[in-house]
Chain A
Amino acid sequence: MNTSALIMMVTTQVLVAFLMGFFFYKVLRAPKREEPDSYSENDDD
């Protein structure tokens, strides 16, 4: 592979993968909302 292609590919793919991971991490770490929220799985029985 040539250097410019390698730099372009690695930079773009790492950036995209990092941002995807970062946003998912933020979603998983976000504090739960008070009930009732939009999601049924965490509803009280």
Chain B
Amino acid sequence: MAKEASSGWGSRVGLILAMAGNAVGLGNFLRFPVQAVENGGGAFIIPYLVCFLLMGIPLLWVEWATGRFGGIRGNHSTPFIFDSMNKKKVWKYIGVFGIFTNIAVASYYCYIESWTMSYVYHTLIGTFDGMSQQQVSDFFNSYTDIGSTFSGIPYEAVVFYIVCLALNTWILSKGLGGVEKVAKVGVPLLLIFGAFLAVKGLTLGTSGASPAVPDANALDGINFLWTPQFSSLLDLKVWLAAAGQIFFTLSLGMGTIHCYASYLKEKDDVALNSLSAGFTNEFVEVVLGSLIVVPIAAGYLGLDWVINNAGFGMAFQTMPYLFDKWGDVVGTLSGVFWFGLLFFAGITSSLAMGTPWMGFMQDEFGWGKKKGAWTFGLIVLILGLPTVFFYNEGVFDEYDYWAGTVSLVVFALAEIVLFAWVFGITKGWDQINAGADISLPKIYKPILKYITPTILIIVFLGALITPKGNDWEKALTEKWELDNGSILAKLTNSDIVVNKEFFSNHKEYDQPGGIVDTIIHDEEKKVHILKVKDKVRFYRNEQGEAKEAKKEAILSNLGKNYVFFDSVAVCREYKIKWKNKIVVKKGDELKLGSTIATGKFTNKSLYITIGRLLLLGLFIFICILVYRAGRKKTTT
């Protein structure tokens, strides 16, 4: 893009807002509070801030400086930015991650972004008015089960996805100017919307308590988020979670920061710009992000509920129900603000994901902005439709795992090694300080060389060999069993223990044990429903009611004298297509792998494999393009 006269940033503030918009994403409002809840509340902030200082800020400087270094030499995407730092071919191909990750993440990220668009629309037309909590939750489940429609638009989820992607593509086709304009409008609006909701969260208090939840108090949520539990500082899991959060929140290891910074000139500052953008992201996350979802949910549903149910789904499955309690006008306004801020957080990030591909194709093959943008949209559409159609079959999660998690860590580890060890820390430090409008503490030079790479190696190893249940203490003192979410377990497919075949003539039970409780043959919906009971952990709250203890360890740390006990409850529900046959009967005891139905089944393993092949295909495709571009450069 730099080769066109109109390319480049309009203003310094515009660049910082675009960078901040790139970093501020849905995770600031959804992932951060959940991570804090699950990792020791207030104590989480200590490792979080330490990781920000020792890993986040150094990597920001590295990516900004690397990007500017490559941009000055005419390269605006990581393969040839890295190539300009070291001529060994391996770096060029490691740089492929900086294009691959963006396209792959954009393909499912735009789907989440389209939910926010759709939820704004549904809030405005009053879809959620008067709905119960269960109905709001069911709405989301039906929405992602794409056959359903609520607005009369057939395949509504697909339509919103395509509209959202088309909007992204159209803005991208206007070049950096379009991206900057969106950031200049989107980031301030996001801050205003966020501030409104944060004030509501902070002042809600006990006004949301109801006969069903008499002790509900928003301040309990804030208390829990911020009360330091210093014992958790000795837990490796908490440190890994904090490092992971810093990584995702700053959009490190993606290649977008390099691309944005590559449009800077040699004498322009990167040190202060990166700090401004980084701290804007931290403000949104630590100040606004912590004051919205958790306090508001605790204010209506109680802290125990928040602890048991904290997760990504709260944004879509719970918040519309809570906003509805604020009355017609404020409720609708809050819903629009909430999903509006998520939309702006999303679009400023997804736009950034389009720029590395456009920059690469422009640099190496002379493509214009429009051609670059529309091909990006097309590739994202091809990759993204499986995540839309097979969301419940695990394709979305597979993309998120490999492209949105593993690739980032691998790429960041490689780039810090390149910058601090191969390119050299002396040259690297000079690059960071060139044109700087702020003097940086020299202590960061050894941090960049030793501490940041060490943290990244620990994060990578932590993801590679995550022990079962993320219980490091048990793994280090007793037997080390791999968690199903670890990279090794995923690579060896050991996370898939039943229904391994793509197609099968029987369906296997996928839980450790259980007893068949109910079988329903719903002729109207043409589906058989099988409900299985098993031992479930419960606790008794202060009102003496028995509640399911989904996160016992966190509840135990609350300092309340909860009594935990096991009881039998429905733990699993299976929907079997009408043409297939359930072969178990009420009272049957089930074990892992027991056959529960016969007929024709397409298993999740097929969809997961398709997802992986698509990602692999994309990576190879970009490698081929980089190879061709390299050949072209050598022949000319």
Chain A positions within 8 Å of B, measured between CB atoms, are 1-2, 4-6, 8-9, 12-13, 16-17, 19-20, 23-24, 26-28, 30, 33-34, 36-42
Contacts and interface: CB of A to CB of B under 8 A. Distances in A.
Smallest CB-CB A-B distances: 8 pairs: A5-B226, A20-B279, A9-B226, A23-B276, A5-B227, A30-B437, A41-B11, A41-B10
A27 B273 contact: yes
B268 A8 contact: no
A8 B36 CA distance: 13
Interface in B103-120: none
Given A9-B222, A13-B286, A37 B279 contact: no
**Max chain B CB contacts within 10 Å: which of A16, A20, A37, A38?**
A38
A26 to B, nearest CB: 6
B15 interface: yes
A24 B249 CA distance: 20
Given A1-B219, A24-B276, A27-B276, A6 B226 contact: yes
A33 to B, nearest CB: 6
A17 B223 contact: no
A4 B275 CA distance: 29
Contacts of B15: 38-39
B49 A12 contact: yes
Interface string B432-457: 00010110000000000000000000
B42 interface: yes
Contact of A27 (B6, B12, B49): B12
Contacts of B282: 16, 19-20
A37 B227 CA distance: 47
Contact of B223 (A5, A26, A42): A5
B45 interface: yes
Interface string B322-338: 00000000000000000
Interface in B1-17: 6, 8-16
B63 interface: no
B45 A8 contact: yes
Contact of A20 (B13, B228, B263, B283): B283
B276 A2 contact: no
Contacts of A42: 11
B226 A23 contact: no
Contacts of B225: 5, 9
Contacts, number: 101
Interface size class of B (residues with CB under 8 A): 35 or more
Contacts of B437: 26-27, 30
B272 A30 contact: yes
Interface centre among B12, B42, B275, B435 (most CB of A within 10 A): B12
Given A12-B45, A30-B272, A41-B11, A36 B226 contact: no
Interface string B405-434: 000000000000000000000000000000
Contacts of A17: 283, 287
A28 B39 CA distance: 38
Given A38-B264, A39-B9, A40-B9, 17 more contacts: A1-B222, A5-B222, A5-B223, A5-B225, A5-B226, A12-B226, A13-B286, A13-B287, A16-B287, A19-B282, A20-B276, A20-B282, A23-B275, A23-B438, A24-B276, A26-B276, A27-B437
B500 interface: no
B222 A38 contact: no
A40 B548 CA distance: 59
Nearest to B11: A41
B227 A33 contact: no
A33 B228 CA distance: 45
Nearest to A42: B11
B242 to A, nearest CB: 13
A6 to B, nearest CB: 7
B265 interface: yes
A31 to B, nearest CB: 8
B461 to A, nearest CB: 29
B280 interface: yes
Contacts of B265: 36-38
B135 to A, nearest CB: 33
B304 interface: no
Interface in B239-294: 263-265, 267-269, 272-273, 275-276, 279-280, 282-283, 286-287, 290
A9 B94 CA distance: 40
A28 B45 CA distance: 30
Interface in B172-228: 219, 222-223, 225-228
A21 B264 CA distance: 23
Nearest to B217: A1
A33 B437 CA distance: 11
A2 B272 contact: no
B74 to A, nearest CB: 15
A9 B14 CA distance: 30
Contact of A38 (B16, B42, B228, B263): B263
Given A12-B49, A30-B269, A1 B9 contact: no
14 contacts: A5-B222, A8-B45, A12-B286, A17-B287, A19-B282, A24-B276, A26-B438, A27-B12, A27-B276, A30-B269, A30-B272, A40-B8, A41-B10, A41-B11
Contacts of A30: 269, 272, 437
A29 to B, nearest CB: 9
B425 to A, nearest CB: 24
A22 to B, nearest CB: 8
A23 B263 contact: no
B42 A4 contact: yes
Contacts of B13: 27-28
